[in-house]
Amino acid sequence: MTLLHVDSSARHTSVSRQLTSQFVETWKKENPSGEVITRDLAATHLPLITDEWTQASFSEPEQWTGAQKAAIAASDELVAEILRADTIVIGAPMYNFTIPAPLKGWIDQIVRSKKTFSYGPEGPKGLLAGKKVFVITSRAGAYGPGSPFEKADFQAPYLRFILSFIGLTDVTFIHAEHQGREGAESARQAAVAQIQQAVHGAH
């Protein structure tokens, strides 16, 4: 079994990092011989999509120029990581009502034509099947159903949609809301309990 652990917070004292660590620790206990791939997006300086990248992504490797090969190398590495994983845990702070730029950068690298999605007569098809995904968010506000800021959540709905676009439809969200405010500690404890349940339930 392989777990891909992705973090995207800029902060060392991050709530989402603490919670994904808790997930990894619990997962390791359940899977003592399992492999964990760690991808810290604050420590990985991913390239942006360029002209060379797009040309490489829509052509065959034998046709790539040196510049195209270099532009798409990080994407090849990140796609290989996600293909290898059976379970994926993503730490996602909310920044400006959506995800941090490094997490968007990672998504831009893993959403790859013919590798993680394809277009056919019936439209787009996700190619990553059978993987379990856990997204652990941390936010200062509260965005649950019926809350005044529900419509301002461009984080969870976006992640759910883009993950399903590449075939990742088994996605569980665990939210730690009210961070930095009253109720932060109890929200974190509730998230830890959900993590324990999620990891145990995944077996």
Ligand X SMILES: Cc1cc2nc3c(=O)[nH]c(=O)nc-3n(C[C@H](O)[C@H](O)[C@H](O)COP(=O)(O)O)c2cc1C
Q: Which residues bind ligand X (CB under 6 A)?
A: 9, 11, 14-17, 93-97, 138-141, 179-180
Q: How far is the CB of 130 from ligand X (least distance, A)?
A: 29
Q: How far is the CB of 162 from ligand X (least distance, A)?
A: 19
Residues 203, 110, 154: CA angle, nearest 5 degrees: 80
- Sign of the four-CA dihedral 132, 128, 86, 161: negative
Q: How far is the CB of 1 from ligand X (least distance, A)?
A: 26
Residue of 103, 89, 91, 93 whose CA lies nearest to 177: 93
Identity of the residue, 73 or 140, whose beta carbon is nearer to ligand X in the bound complex: 140
Identity of the residue, 14 or 26, whose beta carbon is nearer to ligand X in the bound complex: 14
Exposure of 138 by Cβ count < 10 A (0-12 exposed, 13-18 middle, 19+ buried)?
Answer: buried
When CB distances to ligand X are compared, the closest residue is: 93
Are 4 and 40 within 8 A, CB to CB?
A: no
Q: How far is the CB of 37 from ligand X (least distance, A)?
A: 20
d(CA 54, CA 138): 32
Q: How far is the CB of 19 from ligand X (least distance, A)?
A: 8
Identity of the residue, 17 or 115, whose beta carbon is nearer to ligand X in the bound complex: 17
Identity of the residue, 103 or 168, whose beta carbon is nearer to ligand X in the bound complex: 103
d(CA 33, CA 39): 19
What's at 81, amino acid-wise?
A: E
Identity of the residue, 118 or 147, whose beta carbon is nearer to ligand X in the bound complex: 147
